[in-house]
Amino acid sequence: MKCGELFHVKPGSKVHLSTIDPNGTAKHTDKASARDTIKKYTRHLRDLQYSLYAEGKRSLLICLQGLDAAGKDGVINHVLGAMNPQGTRVYGFKVPTKEEAAHDFLWRIEKQVPGKGEVAIFNRSHYEDVLAARVHKIVPEEVWSKRYDLINCFEKGLLVNGTHVLKFFLHISPGEQLKRFQQRLDDPARHWKISESDYEERELWNKYAKAYEDALSKTSTPDAPWYIIPSNHKWFRNLAVSKIVVEKLESLDMRLPAAQVDIDEIRRRYHKAEIEEERAS
């Protein structure tokens, strides 16, 4: 079974996060057993991204969502960082600016979608407008409840225009989150990640879980599937995400474009130049 099939949220299904084990590691037993596999997929990912960039016909949008400390930055650094920066962009969506808030909620998203040949990674995304906006009652239910259909239409439009969409929910337990918060406190190099809202948001865990369950259930479509990735074990999270991205890019059956010049003529000129240089020396 492909990794994507194992963690895919089937369109039309109802998600219950309490039934999904965030400690899952599939067939792997520990980090050591997965190390070579992770390296293999990240190397292959770089080659596939090169083909996507060279072909210049399609693009890939990867959305990363998860509660605080779920590992969004870790996925970007350890997995997607394997790709060539040329042709890859990372964009993080924070609280909307005054200008962004004055527009439709998808306005700031549309400006960051990848162009032909690009991979764009969203650290948080348009889903914040049915998650944080819902939990913190930034907008009333009559507003956020209509956004699921708008999101589905938006993502369908992306595919029509050649942008494939993968969405990952990084699933951790409350205990694992608390452990990672403690690591931030203990490591001065991570102090910058600490926010006063970290522990306040923990009190809203159940509300966020419900919001995520609705979002995952209502917006996992054939055009833009959701994948729930067990993420208590960072190494397995990295393996699963890298494999699913590889599987998706492989399915595109990309082809490198033909040369735009006469290769034989270029070779003749090169060899002629070599001969003339040897004579001159």
* Radius of gyration for the alpha carbons in the chain, expressed in angstroms and rounded: 22
pLDDT of residue 57: 96
What band does 35 get if pLDDT is binned at 50, 70 and 90? Answer: confident
Q: Hey, what's the torsion of the CAs at 78, 83, 87, 90, to 10 degrees?
A: 0
Q: Has residue 245 got a pLDDT over 90?
A: yes
pLDDT of residue 29: 84
Domain ranges of the chain: 3-280
pLDDT of residue 33: 82
Give tens-digit pLDDT for 219-235.
999 999 999 999 999 99
Is the CB of residue 247 less than 8 Å from the CB of residue 3?
Answer: yes
Q: Has residue 56 got a pLDDT over 80?
A: yes
What band does 1 get if pLDDT is binned at 50, 70 and 90? Answer: low
Q: Has residue 22 got a pLDDT over 90?
A: yes
What band does 52 get if pLDDT is binned at 50, 70 and 90? Answer: very high
Q: Has residue 7 got a pLDDT over 80?
A: yes
pLDDT of residue 200: 84
Q: Has residue 168 got a pLDDT over 80?
A: yes
Q: Which CATH class is domain 3-280?
A: alpha beta
Q: Has residue 172 got a pLDDT over 80?
A: yes
Residue reference for tokens 């200008």? 99
What band does 279 get if pLDDT is binned at 50, 70 and 90? Answer: confident
Q: Has residue 270 got a pLDDT over 80?
A: no
pLDDT of residue 248: 96
What band does 5 get if pLDDT is binned at 50, 70 and 90? Answer: confident
At residue 60's C-alpha, the angle toward residues 59 and 65, to 5°, is 155
Q: What is the mean pLDDT of residues 75-95?
A: 92
What band does 164 get if pLDDT is binned at 50, 70 and 90? Answer: very high
Q: Give the range with max mean pLDDT: 7-16, 78-87, 186-195.
A: 7-16
- List helix spans (H) across the chain: 3-7, 31-55, 72-78, 98-101, 107-110, 132-135, 141-144, 147-160, 174-186, 197-202, 205-219, 234-251, 263-280
Percent of the chain residues past pLDDT 70, beyond the cut:
98
One-letter identity of residue 148: Y
Average pLDDT, the chain: 92
Q: What is the mean pLDDT of residues 74-88?
A: 91
